[in-house]
Amino acid sequence: MFAVSDVESELKEDSDNFGSVCRVCRSPLEPPWIRCVQCQPYQHICARCFSFGVEFDQHESDHSYMVVRYNFPLFEPSWTAAEEIRLLESIQEYGLGNWVPVSGRMRVKSAEDCERHYFKYYVENPQPPLPVFEDRENYTRGAPVVFKLSDNPPRPPEGSTLSFEMGGYSAARGDFDVEHDNFIEMDICRMTFDEDDDDDETVVKEPDDEHLYRELSLAALDVYWHCLRERQRRKKMIRDYGLINVRKWYGMLKRRYENNIPLEFLRPFMRLFPPVTFDKYLESLNYKKQLKSDILSLQEYRRNGITRLRSVKAFYQMKKRREHMKSQRHNFTDVISHVTDEQSCLSWLAKQTIVEGCSKTSLANIPVLPKKVIPRLNIDGLPGYEKLSEAEREMCSEVRLVPQAYLDFSRILISECAKQGYLPLAQARTLIKIDVNKTRKLHSFLIKEGRITKDPI
């Protein structure tokens, strides 16, 4: 009776010999084949050679044997053991994720069937003992082999805007066009420690000079070593913070936090945190925003008399219905909203009379609304206020003109008037692009003050 370890070792050996050759005729072994259990190590013979009773080395035709078959199911009835082995070998050859070439080698299984079966029985619900690949590096990585260039990081053409933003990064080499301290190799490229090679030396060195030269060379190598470490540190920082493909990183953050966190405000703080700490910081700010929103919602529920969460759904339904009714305004609601304000009521009556097409006599009976008085502008403390005279302050407050803008506009008008001797109103409107009424009042004020003239002298 075999032990469990013996059975597992035999299964492993059979799987290793699947696809190998016959010991006699060297033809590929295809199930079923014969395995001699008396020979050590086990000898594998194809069915044709076994039927002829061939003998070789220590193997004889009367030895005990067993038939190796792979037509039985392991995990599900539609998948035989031979198909399981072929599936794993195909994944090892083409890479995890390339299901189309895998299904092409399976022949009778589609790409969807291969993907579903592999992830179901080898990833999500593995059942030991599982086969062991010869090259463990192929499946310990856990990454598919993709037969196309990846766009992360992107590969922009040299000299483009994106290439400039990426600092001349070359995705194929994983390096930059210009390194940190880019010309430091020029300092050590001609350095040598060969004491016998004095061909390049024009002056015979003294022993002290040789010792000093050696010490300086070692110091230069130490500087170069620190420079290499600094290059690696900077590259690691760029990689950890996602600074190669900045657009993709920032787009991901924008899609995730734009509605809750002002990213432009937080970008300067990135240099203060490690990458993981900064991500936790963003998550905490997002969580704080959500808590604040939940608190405001709870306060709204309490103001409306809701004390149970089960009543929230009914509250939102009634609120939506109330807003819908408010949107459907009619004449009666307009009258109710304007009846408290006499001027608003008269304005509404005039509009309704025009809409209903009443006669002019009816319009005459409706009093005319007085024009709304525009309040004066409070310019106290605004830039340029102390430079104005009392009359200028009064004019700026009445016209609602900022003192500094008044000073700029008046200087332009006075300068133009000095050039040609006069300045009409039409030309003043072309010089300063503001409201025509403000231009007219400013033009009249400057004429009244005697700073400009309207007509030629």
Query: 374 near 400, Cβ under 8 Å?
Result: yes
Average pLDDT in the 292-307 region? 89
227 neighbors 180 (Cβ within 8 angstroms) = yes
Domain boundaries, the chain: 4-68, 81-140, 179-244, 331-365, 385-449
Q: What percent of the chain has pLDDT over 90?
A: 1
Distance CA 378, CA 385 (A): 11
> What is the rounded average pLDDT of the residues 34-51?
79
Question: Going by DSSP bridges, is the β-strand pair 175-176/169-170 parallel, antiparallel, or unpaired?
Answer: antiparallel
Q: Which has more confidence, 305 or 8? A: 305
pLDDT at 225: 92
CA dist 332 to 105, 335, 400, Å?
79, 5, 39
Report pLDDT digits (tens) over 240-261: 766 777 666 667 777 777 666 7
385-449 has which CATH code? Answer: 1.10.10.10
**Alpha-carbon gap, residue 454 to 382, rounded angstroms:** 30
Average pLDDT value for residue range 384-397: 87
Structure tokens at 438: 């403000």
pLDDT in tens, 67-112: 777 777 778 888 888 888 888 888 888 888 889 888 888 888 888 8
Per-residue burial over 281-315, b = 16 or more CB atoms within 10 Å of its CB, e = otherwise: bbeeeeeeeeeeeeeeeeeebeeeeeeeeeeeeee
pLDDT at residue 263 above 80?
no
CA 202 to chain CA centroid, nearest Å: 60
Residue 334 has pLDDT above 50, yes or no: yes
Amino acid at 193: F
- Give the distance, in angstroms, between the CA of residue 405 and the centroid of all CA atoms in the same chain: 44
Confidence of residue 336 (pLDDT cuts 50, 70, 90): low
Give the strand pairing for 33-36 and 43-45: antiparallel
Candidate ranges 155-164, 256-265, 332-341, 406-415; pick with highest mean pLDDT: 406-415
Q: Give tens-digit pLDDT for 302-330.
A: 888 888 888 888 888 988 888 888 777 66
Average pLDDT rounded to a whole number, residues 189-212: 65
Is pLDDT larger for residue 270 or for residue 148?
Answer: 270
In the predicted model, is pLDDT for residue 443 greater than 60?
yes
The CA-atom distances, in angstroms, between 259 and each of 149, 248, 255, 262, 294 are: 34, 18, 8, 8, 15
- Angstrom CA distances, 80 to 83, 99, 321, 376, 379, stand at 5, 19, 63, 92, 90
DSSP SS3 for 56: strand
362: closest CA among 373, 377, 352? 352
Mean pLDDT, rounded, for 167-174: 72
Going by C-alpha positions, the residue among 401, 408, 440 that lies closest to residue 424 is 440
The fold adopted by the segment(s) 4-68 is Wheat Germ Agglutinin (Isolectin 2); domain 1 (3.30.60)
